[in-house]
Amino acid sequence: MTAVAPPASARATTSTQLGRHRRDVAGLTFHVLLLIALLFSLGVLATLVLSVLVGGLPVLMERGLSFLTSPTSANPDKAGVVQGIIGSLLMTAIVAMVAIPLGIMTAIYLEEYAPASRLSRFIDINIRNLAGVPSIVYGLLGFTVFVTFLAPATGGTTILSAGLTLAALVLPIVIIASAEAIRAVPHELREGGYGIGASRWQVTRELVLPSAMPGILTGTILALARAIGETAPLLLVGAVLGYFSSGNKGPLEQLFGKFTALPTLIYDWARRPQSEFRDLTSAAIIVLLVITLFATAVSIYLRNRYQKTW
């Protein structure tokens, strides 16, 4: 049977069908729609940053360092963010000292030590639920436990209470991120340790933790960045809106006095009717964003550099 060449007309059609770029309108539209969605996010981000810069940069340039070192005031020409900065810094320190060790220890327990029991599953589910609780509810917790119940220890509505409240809020994030990092450590590494007679803690401390450290660090930094930006719980724990003087107290004394933080300061200024305060708010936002965006950038960078040299 000899092969019959397809008739010339059929050949031509086929080659046009395969060769010519059939305009795929629907697919193209879809692609464009997707891009629009992405550009929307980018656009919003850009607009936000721009508006904040436009409003706030002039203030920063004009006032310079005095903006960062003055306390808040009714007078827009004098108002500054120093109390917010100190408050936020002190709170972040408390969060770091409380939530990070507790979180990492909990993650180690869950991943390396916990038996497959109902209690372990309950702890796990509980942590995941805690991660989804709205932040203002943590404010209620902070108010009841730290401000009221533990008043003798914390002094009531103080930075200490605020810091502990934020620590509770951020704890689930640290746990989940650390647990993921620990889980990602390959089991061959552990086996190598156990196989030559290392104990569980020795394997955890010498092999698993060092290997998981980049991931744990990333999660920790993200958690701290989140803590710095929180406002609602602080409102319930007594952050002062309005004016107060921190006097000449050192930071340690300020732990137990009236306080505010950058986000609550921003909230306060944003609600003031004087138009000058709008730009002041933008300037304060710049300070806050610099801190949070820096932290986010560091954690992204750490995560990308995760590839170990070893």
Q: Would you count residue 177 as binding another protein (CB under 8 A)?
A: no
* Other C-beta atoms lying within 10 Å of the C-beta of residue 100: 21
Residues 6+ apart with CB under 8 A from 1: none
Q: Would you count residue 243 as binding another protein (CB under 8 A)?
A: no
Query: In the complex with another protein, which residue's Cβ is closer, 43 or 253?
Result: 43
Q: Would you count residue 298 as binding another protein (CB under 8 A)?
A: no
Q: Would you count residue 38 as binding another protein (CB under 8 A)?
A: yes
Rg value, the chain, Cα: 28
Q: Which of 13, 14, 66, 126 binds another protein (CB under 8 A)?
A: 126
Q: Would you count residue 296 as binding another protein (CB under 8 A)?
A: yes
Q: Which of 10, 48, 97, 153 binds another protein (CB under 8 A)?
A: 48
Q: Which of 72, 84, 91, 143 binds another protein (CB under 8 A)?
A: 143
Q: Which of 53, 89, 93, 145 binds another protein (CB under 8 A)?
A: 145
Q: Would you count residue 89 as binding another protein (CB under 8 A)?
A: no
Binding segment toward another protein, per CB under 8 A, in 29-37, 72-80, 212-220, 249-257: 29-37
Helix (H) or strand (E) holding 134: none
Q: Which of 222, 224, 255, 280 binds another protein (CB under 8 A)?
A: 222
Report yes or no: 282 and 265 within 8 Å, Cβ to Cβ.
no
Rounded Cα distance between 170 and 130, Å, is 9
Query: In the complex with another protein, which residue's Cβ is closer, 9 or 309?
Result: 309
Q: What region, left, alpha or beta, does residue 197 occupy, with left being phi > 0 and alpha being psi -120 to 50 degrees?
A: left
Rounded Cα distance between 155 and 161, Å, is 8
**Interface residues for another protein in 146-165 (CB under 8 A)?**
none
* Other C-beta atoms lying within 10 Å of the C-beta of residue 138: 23
Residue 91 C-beta: closest distance to another protein, Å: 14
Residues 6+ apart with CB under 8 A from 154: 146, 147, 160, 161, 164
Nearest to 213 by CA among 117, 302, 97, 110: 302
Q: Would you count residue 65 as binding another protein (CB under 8 A)?
A: no
Q: Which of 7, 152, 195, 247 binds another protein (CB under 8 A)?
A: 195
Q: Would you count residue 272 as binding another protein (CB under 8 A)?
A: no
Q: Would you count residue 168 as binding another protein (CB under 8 A)?
A: yes
Q: Residue 301 is which amino acid?
A: Y
Q: Which of 8, 18, 26, 65 binds another protein (CB under 8 A)?
A: 26
Q: Would you count residue 19 as binding another protein (CB under 8 A)?
A: no
Could you tell me the two tokens for 210? 């060092």
Q: Would you count residue 302 as binding another protein (CB under 8 A)?
A: no
Measure the CA dihedral 144/145/149/153, to 10°: -140
